[in-house]
Structure 1
Amino acid sequence: MPFRAYDQHCSIAAALEVLGERWTLLVMREVLLGRRRFADLKRRLGVAPNILSDRLQTLVDHGLLIRERYADNHPDAFEYRPTRKGVDVQPVLLTLMAWGDAHATPPGGPPRVAVHRTCGHEAHPQLHCTHCGDALSPRDTQIGPGPGANAQQRAEPLLPASA
């Protein structure tokens, strides 16, 4: 899909065009948890069928999901499988879950936790510098112009200017 994001030359705005509707991220959560059939998604999410259908079509149109028939004898028997692009949403969901755990968790603690498949222990997502490997906190990062920056973005200094 083309980079639209209205008049905002911004990857976050472009991502929100695809993922910004409330139900869209919840649909992706369920699909990435292995729930792939329309009826299962509708039941788990409690969403109206027309909204679910619209969100699924958006995710298919943008290449995050593929729609596959799972029963030849039933014409409407489809399931939705994540593409590589769809699987790449998982870190976004894990980070959003971590934020929710820290700032919006219900009494009693988080309803779900991430578990590392390799060691079987609870995992907490953390961003790291690809150059030195250090963990990144919000105070450790600034945003600068990238290769696709427009003239206005290239003219700006690293933001925020100070931590």
Structure 2
Amino acid sequence: MKLKNRLYFLTLILLLAFSSCMKPRVELDDTMWGDNAFITTAVLFRYDEVKNQLGYNEVVTGYQNVNISTSSNVVDKDQATIRIVTAKGTDLTKIGIRFSHYAKKIVPQNGAPAAGIVADFSKGPFVYRLYSADGTERDWTIYISVAP
């Protein structure tokens, strides 16, 4: 009889444990964050090959992320545009872009290169769609030029 009571008790505990997982969870209300489909900064970069001895018998080869944007980048929040000027002689076919933003996600539009990947930025302008947590979508246009 004791074994039967223990089995009933164990079954009851298991049912209570599993039923607690079926309770609805509280969902985060994304709309409370408001419209954050804005880019705060954009930075262009390239990878330079670096060779170091590093105390080994052979030279170690790697790549260094180098910022190539100048200080004349202009972010226009009202027009949703960014104008980036690179250093004179920059090869726009082998650069990448990084964004600082508060949006939920950024999606490249119309063949624009993905952020964080070295790609061809010579045939701009480029459009990136930002999605805010509250559902706002805003297209940002990026203009890239080389300093004369």
Greater relative contact order (CA < 8 Å, ≥ 6 in sequence): 2
Q: Same fold (TM over 0.5)?
A: no
TM-score (normalizing by structure 2):
0.22
TM-score (normalizing by structure 1):
0.21
Question: Which structure has greater strand proportion?
Answer: 2
Question: Which structure has greater helix proportion?
Answer: 1
Q: Which of 1 and 2 has greater Rg?
A: 2
